[in-house]
Structure 1
Amino acid sequence: MTDAAAAPPETRRSRLVVLAGPTAVGKGSVAADVRRSHPEVWISVSATTRAPRPGEQDGVHYWFVDDDQFDAMIERGDLLEWAVVHKAARYGTPRQPVEQVLAEGRSALLEIDLQGARQVRETMAEALFVFLKPPSWDELVRRLVGRGTETEEERERRLVTAREELAAEAEFDVAIVNHEVHAAAEDLVALMLQSPTTL
């Protein structure tokens, strides 16, 4: 793992925190709680080619784009990272807003999938990588089934992916167990507010 404290102070513009974890662990819910409780924390909005779920708003939860628009973003180098998730839709992080926030000396939170986190580590190894994990496998299955936003086939596909994703915890700097959304969000914000030299 990369030690953020190893970077010379003059090269550390601000704190970039990457939150990832298995499907249905509650990454989006934790990020939404941070957005509500800590408006001072800047959270990146990902672009995706999947259709909006009930209640999701364009530009708030995701930027919903079609395949042609996503292709154009890749070709222009507009994405910090992108990946095909669950062998279905594509997700990516727009580069310019993240770089602007960091250049201003502010902290930024990326809530992304495991593939994306690995890409960001290649280019921004000084970031803090946080793994959000469920209390148990049974609880993860319960949450995925309970939210009722996927077909049975998609749920099965996501559960296969989730087992692989859970095995990646060792790649991260720190883990947070999502027993309860608000508590996990507060733990995450506490990490963001810590000086890199204290971790």
Structure 2
Amino acid sequence: MSDEHRLVVLAGPTAVGKGTVAASVREHHPEVWLSVSVTTRPPRPGEVDGVHYHFVTQEEFDALVAQGELLEHAVVHGRHSYGTPVRPVRDALAAGRMALLEIDLQGARQVRRTMPEALFVFLAPPSWDVLVERLVGRGTEDAAERERRLATARVELGAQAEFDVTVVNDDVRRAAEELVSLMRSH
């Protein structure tokens, strides 16, 4: 895999805006291939199957795991399964495209074991208070789920040192441009 077409793995705490930054990359940089994860969680308002995620049943997800079809997979927040289909990633890299995986911390650790040559980028919030505000402001989780996600976020923030570089999501477009710049330079 040539350096300019390296795989970039974007991870960070829940509600930091990984999906929003990835959507900005998708909108402004069509040359970047974005992986579409599979998940067993229900779609949030506005999410489109096959664009934001491939929404599957737990049985379908388990079959993908059993068949070795996922580059990484994890149960996130103790509730829903997420994973990255391996074939599209390998096809994009083989075609010489810049490839971006937007995944959770557990998934990033798995990808590091199988593809250590990737560039691992930690997306950080400007502050803890901003992260809490984003999670609460999203309004897509009930109080119990918010508490679960905040507990997970505290742990996830502690993993920042495991990554090659940190991008602070203080402005979505700026963070997306920094991410694409890192992709091009690595």
User: Which category describes the TM-score, using the shorter chain as reference length?
Assistant: over 0.9
Give the secondary-structure state (helix, strand or coil) at the position aligned to 1:17: strand
2:163 is aligned with 1:172: yes
Distance 2:2 2:23 in 1: 27
Cα deviation for residue 151 of structure 1 reads 0.6
* Normalised TM-score (structure 1): 0.91
Equivalent runs, 1:28-47 vs 2, <5 Å: 28-47=19-38
4+ long deviations beyond 6 Å = none
Q: State which of 133, 139, 144 in structure 1 corresponds to 2:130.
A: 139
2:173 is aligned with 1:182: yes
Q: State which of 48, 53, 57 in structure 2 corresponds to 1:62.
A: 53
Structure 2: any 5+ residue segments left out of the alignment? none
Distance 2:159 2:2 in 1: 26
2:116 is aligned with 1:121: no
Distance 1:39 1:54 in 2: 24
Measured on the aligned residues, the alpha-carbon RMSD in Å equals 0.9
Question: How many residue pairs get matched?
Answer: 185
* Normalised TM-score (structure 2): 0.98
Structure 1: any 5+ residue segments left out of the alignment? 1-10
Cα deviation for residue 170 of structure 1 reads 0.2
Q: State which of 64, 73, 77 in structure 2 corresponds to 1:82.
A: 73
How many percent identity over aligned positions?
69
Q: State which of 10, 23, 28 in structure 2 corresponds to 1:19.
A: 10
1:118-161 alpha-carbon deviations (Å, 9 max, x no partner)? 00000000000000000000000000000100010000000000
1:43-85 alpha-carbon deviations (Å, 9 max, x no partner)? 0000000000000000000000001100110011000000000
Give the secondary-structure state (helix, strand or coil) at the position aligned to 1:125: coil
Give the secondary-structure state (helix, strand or coil) at the position aligned to 2:71: strand
Partner of 2:41: 50
Residues 31 and 98 in structure 2, CA contact (< 8 A), matched pair in contact too: no
Cα deviation for residue 12 of structure 1 reads 3.9
Distance 2:100 2:139 in 1: 27
